[in-house]
Structure 1
Amino acid sequence: MKSRLRLAFEALAFGALMVPWVQAIAAEPAIDFNRDIRPILSDNCFKCHGPDEKERKANLRLDVRAVAVERKAIVPSKSGESKLIARISSSDEAMRMPPAKTGKHLKPEQVALLKRWIDEGASYSQHWAFVPPVRPALPGVKNPGWVRTPVDRFILQQLERSGLLPTPEADRVTLIRRLTLDLTGLPPTPAEVDAFVHDQSPAAYAKLVERLLKSPHYGERMALDWLDAARFADTHGYHIDSGRDMTKWREWVIEAFNSNKPFDQFTIEQLAGDLLPNASVAQRIASGFNRNHMINFEGGAVPEEYHTAYIVDRVNTTATVWLGLTVGCAQCHDHKYDPISQKEFYQLYAFFYNVPENGLDGSKGNAAPMLRAPTTEQQQKLDDLDRQIKALEAKAKLPDAKEAKQELAKIRKERDALDRTIPSAMVMQEMPRPRDTFVLIRGQYDKKGEKVTANVPAFLPPFPKDAPPNRLALARWLVDPNHPLTARVIVNRYWQMFFGTGLVKTSEDFGSQGEWPSHPELLDWLATEFIRTGWDVKAMIRMLVMSATYRQSSSIADAKTNLQSADPDNRLLSRAPRIRLPAEFIRDQALAAAGLLNPEIGGKSVSPYQPPGLWEELMSRADGANWSAQTYTQSHGKDLYKRTMYTFWKRTCPPAQLATFDAPDRETCTVRRARTNTPLQALILMNDPTYVEASRKLAERVLTEAKTDADRLTLVFRLVVARTPNPDETRILVRVLERQHEVFRKDPERARKLLSVGESSRNEKLEVAALAAWTTVASVVLNLDETVTRP
């Protein structure tokens, strides 16, 4: 009996010991090929054993299961017999894969994962992004009271799975600053902050969202990211880099966002507005999206070589913007990681090859084909002058018509002068007879291979058989509800816009080399919702910014768990992201706080302060001559303070102030800006004339609008970062103010020199030393990390 009891006890004890082990095995997540295995194979194997047939080694493909199994690289359920495991685990450097010369080496945990995958059957699945999204059910959560929009259910589900809690909602001052910057690119005024803080209605936040979505500055903010994607600039690029004028296209983009043009129509008009039945002037201007590429006209250049470069750019840009794919390497050979052959690249190329354009053009500004686009006022004036000319022509035929002839000559001269001021826009236009398209061997413009016709990659939905092989049909194919990529790519970019990082971090690459989504089900839900709502951009953005996820505090101090270790990169969104503002926001914020900002929307590009001789220095040749066809001419008056998105953009020398804060050169498509932290950025904020002048005007503003130093410190903080200073900040700034006032009182010349920076007039009624001291204080506040950071 005792023996049996002892055995039973031991069995129970053993079972108790085994429970955690069994639970650990059960808790181990199932292997997902796309999430766990494909990234390892893509990073380490596909370059030599992937889609690129010409570069493939040993005739082995690891991206196709049938081939890998046939060649015994993978023996399903038997990792010990799989050559793949033998080669990646080999102690013999000559045998081990990847080869030592590649500098790559699999980590032990990666080898273990591959073994486990093979032992479980080595199942493959199509790359997740190439499968049409299926709308998932909204997940259940433990704390449904936190949820404000469907977005929150997906976020909260992952937080709860990870044992994390969301941070509390940010305070109202933080919320209005965050939301106003995100939706308009401008800071809120103190009056706007007060109105929101004191509005106790449950709908206060929703009303704020609606007001900002209706702001005309919303269109400017949304257009800013699109200009990067469309590689918009004011010059042609290459060595000469002379000017062009695509003002009308930029204005079209701003208006499209402000009018909430559905994204499918937004797409169609930009890719093929000229091909729409009875296309309007605006639709034809929209087609200028694919004329924003660089253009060359250097002497001695080969026209066909550069014409080829333009078409390649259109293919690459279209693929990045709408497909989220990097197809550029397929210009020369089959893609090494994704199923895009060189032939398929040139089939896409054929869609864009039918424009009547020259390889070398643009020496006099815009390059053909062009569309004249007079303003309403200009058109009315032209019509009036044409009526006068017609009447005078009849009179001039009569005897004794000397005065009529003189008046006719005068009116014609006036009309010619007006005609020269009418802006044009480069547009797309289809040739009556398509050019023949060929695969270009190794991408060389003069080495033609197989003849091809317009088509789309085979791994994507088929091109409609009854559709004409032109850009209009391509655009409609891209926004077909069954397309697996377009909606995902675009909503991911909007997520990136408002949360700092996309659900797919590599927003430019949804292919095999791209990152796995942080929240795959959420991405698919958003994509299907975008389509369901008729590609309604404002509805999508409204849902994102109304979410509890968006409204969280960004402070780790507010968290109830140790987020620094549990979610260090904030991929689970356990708090709101705290990120550096875009370059344009930083300058606009300073101008707005100082009362300098010119809020006019649209119009030609302007030229704010820039270091003298910068263009000449960067574009000079060894013999002292200047490659550039331009000399920088600074704007004056109100144009000097126009919003930064209107800054003249020279491709070979982008605005220095903006480039320092990671603005791209716009030579090619950019859908994800870098975000760096450098000492040069602080030097810009302290010394650039824009910020020195803004500091002076901000100082003048607080000196005239507030009566005491305490009130002035409060006002300068509220104008810049929306909140009031805390006691420590007040104490520090009072000390700065007192010391600087003493310095400038003793050295009035130094004060006058500081106050002379910038073209705006100085308030002569203010005492010089006091104004200089307050200018320094304002500069300190404009230089705060908080000032240049999204809260």
Structure 2
Amino acid sequence: MNRILCALLVVFTYCQQASSARAVDVDFVRDVRPILQQRCYPCHGADKQKSGLRLDVKSEAFRGGDAYGPSIVAGNADASPLIQLACEADPSLRMPLDSPPLTAEEISTLTRWITEGAVWPEDADLASVEDKRDHWSFKPLTNPIPPALNGNAWVRNGVDRFIFDRLQTEGLQPAPEADRVAWLRRVSFDLIGLPPSPAEVDAFLQDQTHEAYERVVDRLLASPRYGERWAQHWLDVVRYADTHGFEVNTERPNAWPYRDYVIESFNKDTPYDRFIREQIVGDALAQDAATGFLVTASVLLPGQVGQDAPSMRLARQDSLDEIVVNVGQTFLGLSVACARCHDHKFDPISQRDYYAMQAFVAGVEYADRDLKSPAALARRAETASLQSELSGIEQQLAQLVPLARSGQERGAVNSRLNVERFPETRAQRLRFVVLATNGLEPCLDELEIFTTAGVNVALASSGARVATSGDSTVADRHERRFINDGQYGNSRSWMSSEDGHGWIEVTFAEEHSIDRVAWGRDRTGEFADRLAIDYRVEAATASGEWLVVADALDRAKLIPGKERELQTSRDGLSAAEAEEAHRLQERKDQLEEQIASAAVGQTAFAGVFRTPDVIHLLLRGDPEQPKEEVVPAVPVALGTAAAPGASELQRRSTLADWIASPRNPLTARVMANRIWQTHFGIGLVETANDFGRNGARPSHPELLDWLAGEFIRSGWSIKQMDRLIVLSSVYRQSSRHDEACAAKDADVRLLWRYPMRRLDGETIRDAMLDVSGRLQLTMGGPGFDLFDKRGGLTGFQPVETFDESGCRRMIYAHKVRRERDAVFGAFDCPDGGQSAGRRRESTTPIQALNLFNSRFTLEESAAFAARVADDAGTDVNAQIRRAYELAFNRAATAAEIADAAQVVTEFGLATLCRALFNSNEFLFFP
């Protein structure tokens, strides 16, 4: 009704004008701007731009907001959202909100102005819009020359020249050089995340040559421990974890190959530009596991998403968003996600730019993929050989164990693996019917159906389709699709929705001659509940009639703990035959375990690729409101790289080439800053993940650009950059406090001393294990458990006592998203939910309580004490000296020995060791 009145008002106004002669044209400054100032600027002016709409600047006003396109359509008032919203009948939509509506006269003025062409003089703006592209990080590298500082003995390399020049400018002086042991501990923790051994300390102190420092650095850079240390920094940024996240948070059992790839890449010093390309297009570079980068973040898998179309579209948008966010913040240091719903408020990234970035990765899916590395191919060949031998063993057993339905008792129903043989039957369908279980709903990890030639025709990859009586779905753990996916274990199983019974029907791609089915409850041997103990196997004949070909009648009664024992007492076997049957069964068990072991490392949770989705710009980021299609292209303000009409792989290759180009203004700067941060605790740019306009400016902009240039000139070598920094005089400074310097630079951003910082949680744990003598240096493979379960909703109970496998470096722990380690998680370990570009250091009471009272600390203190006693014997003073050597890499003073002797005498050596673990000297960089 309100719109009708507006229209009538406009008509009446023009009629009046027509009857009295030509009315005076509406003037923007005199007539229009006062209305906008009073009624519109409070929500759409310089200070606030609701819905992305700004009306005090001509270019912004004509561009419009996030939702409606151009707000002003010159010459057409009816098509202009400015007029439409002012005349809206619904008070919740009418503009201005929460204010009286525009008067009829105001609407008439605005309508006439737009109809007459919406003339807005170029010099009529009261404000200006800052060019978002005019920002230091978006400009090319400046290639600065280090200050000369000729004759300055403090200067060792270009890093020192920039730092010292700034210190002079600010009237500051660098701190004295750290003592050799302090530097050695510092550089060891920095480069490998472990303290030096007493022998390494002695060797360094005895080496008085000029090359002593260089030799230490080269040794550390060559250590396999280096990759483990650096990978921790990288995995923080990319949000790596071993679960999928969100509410269900199920296990991601094959995520670890990406973690191992990262460790190996840093150890090999893979050039950073190659490292980028491998993580985006590793499937084309023989590095399949590297594409785990694309899918490191949280995701809802298909079984966790509502099956209605809107839910699936939203889930797909969320998964693509995670990839774009990962690429943007990791490599470019930009928060591109802000442009999902509207143009970025601060950086020159439009909503169109965001969806054009999405189009580069529109063919990426989150799933397990077969690895094609030499190691994986070797394991696959080994598995095939073992499976061939297993098939032969089963055939030999079949000659000794009566066929199904013979009326004779044979092996008991087995929770791990059961084989039912029956006379050759021609069929295209087979049904496995569960009649009873040993409790609750039946669960099967895999149903295999073999032809007479030994081919499993039940596999989904062979075209077989599955129907069931009902599914008790637990997303990514118990789903119908897992019953014939070729993978074993409870985490890849099907569960019926019916208590005690259910059925599975498999339809083959074509008719086959079959003679055997194999099935198990959980072939990893972890679970034996929900086991089908009564069942029948039916095959459909050519006429469609169902024929029972096997059942459980000739199985022995289930005896818990003896499921694998062959029952030969009533088989009519001779003693020799029974002995042979048991020998074959034992070999069969060995083969099954070997096959399970060989399967590890053949697959990885990584990018899986298909024909890209068609990507549309989405109104307010809503997949139910698609607008025009967009093609792959980088943000307009940052470069030129597009791949319209390209294949899926070509799209990702174009993206990778643009990011890894030395001409990209962000890539080298962002990584050089991350490298600097690993050595000083804070980057030259404090906001390591945000180089945009909302991020911090660099403390030393010339040094940052020089480092980025050196990085490129070194062949993108991270190890060369590490070497450059840790051999500088800046890095060699002591952490001695100076009141005068602190008064000018309390945060030590100008680096007049080495900034004191605490070890991160993983390094504290690793160092405790190293000092106690229990650290296991086994590399790679599935992680050890920090909790009593590897994924799920809630209720994670921490593991408190660890065997040897749990004494590996903490980077090899199975990382549950959103669950921090019970002891060391308090030391600001990220939970894998968000990218941790830089770890913040908090100080809380729980840290001290955990580190003093936890079972882990008590056990490592006891192990530390046992090691000291073995090394030093029973003399208390000798024990104290040895404990200080191991924990602090120095000799104990006479006063320390006197104080510690009382503790050891009264409370025991383990108590002293426990105190050393809790000391600041152990927990902080020197």
Aligned counterpart in structure 1 of residue 861 of structure 2, from 661, 680, 695: 695
Aligned counterpart in structure 1 of residue 212 of structure 2, from 201, 204, 212: 204
Match of 2:544 in 1: none
Q: How does 1:711-722 map to 2 (within 5 A)?
A: 711-722=878-889
Match of 1:361 in 2: none
CA contact (8 A) 1:51 1:338 kept: no
Query: Does the alignment pair 1:786 with 2:915?
Result: no
Q: How does 1:340-351 map to 2 (within 5 A)?
A: 340-351=349-360
Match of 1:298 in 2: 304
Alpha-carbon distance, 1:393 to partner: 13
Q: How does 1:57-456 map to 2 (within 5 A)?
A: 57-60=54-57, 126-141=134-149, 144-244=152-252, 245-274=254-283, 276=284, 279-280=285-286, 283-296=287-300, 297-298=303-304, 300=306, 302-356=311-365, 367-369=367-369, 371=371, 375=376, 378-379=379-380, 381-382=382-383, 384-385=385-386, 418-421=594-597, 422-423=599-600, 424-431=603-610, 433-456=611-634
Aligned counterpart in structure 1 of residue 722 of structure 2, from 541, 547, 551: 541
Match of 1:89 in 2: none
Match of 1:590 in 2: 768
Mean alpha-carbon deviation: is it higher for 466-475 or for 719-728? 466-475
Aligned counterpart in structure 1 of residue 783 of structure 2, from 597, 601, 605: 605
Matched residue of 2:637: which SS?
A: coil
Alpha-carbon distance, 1:61 to partner: 8.9
Alpha-carbon distance, 1:444 to partner: 2.4
Aligned counterpart in structure 1 of residue 755 of structure 2, from 552, 563, 577: 577
Q: Which amino acid aligns with 2:916?
A: V
Change in 2 beyond 3 A, CA 1:216/1:50: farther
Alpha-carbon distance, 1:726 to partner: 3.2
Q: Which amino acid aligns with 1:55?
A: G
CA contact (8 A) 2:864 2:910 kept: yes
Distance in 2 (CA, whole Å) between partners of 1:257 and 1:467 is 35
CA contact (8 A) 1:371 1:426 kept: no
Distance in 1 (CA, whole Å) between partners of 2:636 and 2:48 is 13
Matched residue of 2:916: which SS?
A: helix
Matched residue of 1:487: which SS?
A: helix
Structure number with higher strand proportion: 2
Distance in 1 (CA, whole Å) between partners of 2:668 and 2:312 is 37
* CA displacement, residues 440-490 of structure 1 (integer Å, 9 cap, x when unaligned): 222223322221111111110111679946111101100111100000000
Aligned counterpart in structure 2 of residue 653 of structure 1, from 813, 819, 842: 819
Alpha-carbon distance, 1:733 to partner: 2.4
Matched residue of 2:627: which SS?
A: strand
Distance in 2 (CA, whole Å) between partners of 1:464 and 1:311 is 18
Change in 2 beyond 3 A, CA 1:551/1:597: same
**How many pairs align?**
624
Matched residue of 1:428: which SS?
A: strand
Distance in 1 (CA, whole Å) between partners of 2:169 and 2:835 is 38
CA contact (8 A) 2:798 2:822 kept: no
Aligned counterpart in structure 2 of residue 501 of structure 1, from 682, 685, 690: 682
Structure number with higher helix proportion: 1
Distance in 2 (CA, whole Å) between partners of 1:569 and 1:730 is 36
Q: How does 1:658-737 map to 2 (within 5 A)?
A: 658-707=824-873, 708-737=875-904
Alpha-carbon distance, 1:144 to partner: 2.2
Change in 2 beyond 3 A, CA 1:428/1:718: same
Alpha-carbon distance, 1:656 to partner: 2.5
Distance in 1 (CA, whole Å) between partners of 2:814 and 2:709 is 38
Q: Which amino acid aligns with 1:696?
A: A
Matched residue of 2:304: which SS?
A: coil
Change in 2 beyond 3 A, CA 1:392/1:145: same
Q: Which amino acid aligns with 1:323?
A: L
Percent identity, aligned pairs only, is 35
Q: Which amino acid aligns with 1:284?
A: D
Change in 2 beyond 3 A, CA 1:261/1:385: same
Alpha-carbon distance, 1:385 to partner: 3.8
Distance in 1 (CA, whole Å) between partners of 2:359 and 2:48 is 22
CA contact (8 A) 1:51 1:335 kept: no
CA contact (8 A) 1:370 1:427 kept: no
Change in 2 beyond 3 A, CA 1:607/1:430: closer
Q: Which amino acid aligns with 2:824?
A: L
CA contact (8 A) 1:133 1:484 kept: yes
Aligned counterpart in structure 1 of residue 641 of structure 2, from 463, 466, 484: 463
CA contact (8 A) 1:356 1:369 kept: no
CA contact (8 A) 2:774 2:863 kept: yes
* CA displacement, residues 300-343 of structure 1 (integer Å, 9 cap, x when unaligned): 47333222111101111111111111122111111111111111
Gaps of 5+ in 1: 1-44, 65-121, 358-366, 398-402, 620-625, 742-772
Distance in 1 (CA, whole Å) between partners of 2:232 and 2:916 is 26
Alpha-carbon distance, 1:388 to partner: 6.0
Gaps of 5+ in 2: 1-41, 62-129, 397-451, 454-576
Task: Please give the TM-score of this superposition, normalised by the length of structure 1.
Answer: 0.73
Change in 2 beyond 3 A, CA 1:342/1:385: same
Q: Which amino acid aligns with 1:508?
A: N
Q: Which amino acid aligns with 2:664?
A: H
Q: Which amino acid aligns with 2:275?
A: F
Alpha-carbon distance, 1:675 to partner: 1.1
Matched residue of 1:775: which SS?
A: helix
Structure with bigger gyration radius: 2
Q: Which amino acid aligns with 1:481?
A: P
Distance in 1 (CA, whole Å) between partners of 2:44 and 2:296 is 33
Change in 2 beyond 3 A, CA 1:52/1:406: farther
CA contact (8 A) 1:591 1:641 kept: yes
Distance in 2 (CA, whole Å) between partners of 1:134 and 1:667 is 36
Q: Which amino acid aligns with 1:293?
A: A
Task: Please give the TM-score of this superposition, normalised by the length of structure 2.
Answer: 0.63
Change in 2 beyond 3 A, CA 1:467/1:482: farther
Alpha-carbon distance, 1:777 to partner: 0.9
Change in 2 beyond 3 A, CA 1:702/1:48: farther
* CA displacement, residues 592-636 of structure 1 (integer Å, 9 cap, x when unaligned): 11111111111211124x6x8xx89xx9xxxxxx83598767785
Distance in 1 (CA, whole Å) between partners of 2:616 and 2:783 is 39
Matched residue of 1:504: which SS?
A: coil
Alpha-carbon distance, 1:417 to partner: 5.8
Q: Which amino acid aligns with 2:279?
A: Q
Distance in 2 (CA, whole Å) between partners of 1:522 and 1:319 is 24
Distance in 2 (CA, whole Å) between partners of 1:501 and 1:63 is 38
Q: Which amino acid aligns with 1:455?
A: A
Distance in 1 (CA, whole Å) between partners of 2:298 and 2:131 is 45
Distance in 1 (CA, whole Å) between partners of 2:586 and 2:869 is 54
* CA displacement, residues 337-381 of structure 1 (integer Å, 9 cap, x when unaligned): 111111111111111111255xxxxxxxxx345547765763453
Change in 2 beyond 3 A, CA 1:63/1:549: farther
CA contact (8 A) 1:236 1:242 kept: yes
CA contact (8 A) 1:52 1:334 kept: no
* CA displacement, residues 11-56 of structure 1 (integer Å, 9 cap, x when unaligned): xxxxxxxxxxxxxxxxxxxxxxxxxxxxxxxxxx999649979424
CA contact (8 A) 2:368 2:604 kept: no
Distance in 2 (CA, whole Å) between partners of 1:141 and 1:61 is 51
Distance in 2 (CA, whole Å) between partners of 1:146 and 1:263 is 31
Change in 2 beyond 3 A, CA 1:61/1:194: farther
Query: Does the alignment pair 1:55 with 2:52?
Result: yes
CA contact (8 A) 2:53 2:60 kept: no
CA contact (8 A) 1:288 1:426 kept: yes
